[in-house]
Amino acid sequence: MEYVTLSNGLKMPLLGFGVYQVPDLAECERVVSDAIQTGYRLIDTAQAYGNEEAVGRAIQKSDIPREDFFITSKIWISNFGYEKAKTSIEKSLARLQTDYIDLMLLHQPFNDYYGAYRALEEYYKAGKIKAIGVSNFSPDRLADLAIFNDITPMVNQVETHVFNQQLEAQKTMAEYGVQIESWGPFAEGKNNLFTNETLVRIGKQYNKTAAQVALRYLIQQGIVAIPKTVHKERMTQNLDIFDFSLSDEDMADILQLDKGESQFLSHVDPETVKRLSAFTID
């Protein structure tokens, strides 16, 4: 495994395993156990996914030392605000069966995210969270947090894949020393990513799939990626991307695939704000 070093010196695996849309606890525990057996140590969950408990059980049953894992979770909108965020962090720690969380993010840029971020800072200073950050924050909101808080966010997890490469957003992240992390590195198959002509052609040179090329493109630029699958053979394929490098020509060709816009939703659309904010959790 290769790593990136966050602004506070913490090492984070470049490739991890995400559990979005695996709400069934038994199924989630199974797939996380499979991922751990395959070699993943970065496991990404969230309060909104409803499966922190399953992630915690799978890690506990693995008999692998806790310090070998890099566990990420996220505080949901309805838990924002200083006091509510603190309570939710304690619940996440309990569900994950751990004394500390490696990375805790604010899941969306809505509601009282300032109060929630102050809670993150407090838990970070207490050592119960090893790194703090945000998810889905646009460049302006990221800059706002970075300027007006004691601790600059260390990670921003945003939709990043070959069709939405976040080129402008990455400039702001670089300015403030924020590590970019990709959710949806396969764009959930949109635009026929798995059969894309450019990715397939490049993959044939290295005996790799289009999916492996798409992942390699991200990590080769130092972008952390957390692909999700419930199939163990695909977990293995996704991890098998560290034995080749894309050429400058390959990288230039893939750059041309960028559409420069979300393939899912716009976080500046008021309807998106209303829809996400209507979802509440304990």
Residue 163 exposed, middle or buried by CB count within 10 Å (0-12, 13-18, 19+): buried
What is the DSSP pairing of strand 3-5 with strand 11-13? antiparallel
Q: Which residues contact 195 (CB under 8 A, 6 or more apart)?
A: 210
Specify the 3-state DSSP secondary structure of 169: helix
Residue 234 identity (one-letter amino acid): R
SS3 73: strand
Distance, CA of 249 to CA of 66 (rounded, Å): 41
* Structure tokens, 144: 């706002």
Long-range contacts of 25-29 (CB under 8 A, 24+ apart): 25/51, 25/53, 25/54, 26/54, 27/230, 28/54, 28/55, 28/58, 29/54, 29/55, 29/57, 29/58
At 225, is the secondary structure helix, strand, or coil? Answer: strand
- 49 catalytic residue (yes or no): yes
User: Annotated catalytic residue: which of 3, 40, 49, 217?
Assistant: 49
107 is in an annotated binding site: yes
Question: What residues form the annotated binding site for substrate?
Answer: 107
What is the set of active-site residues?
A: 49
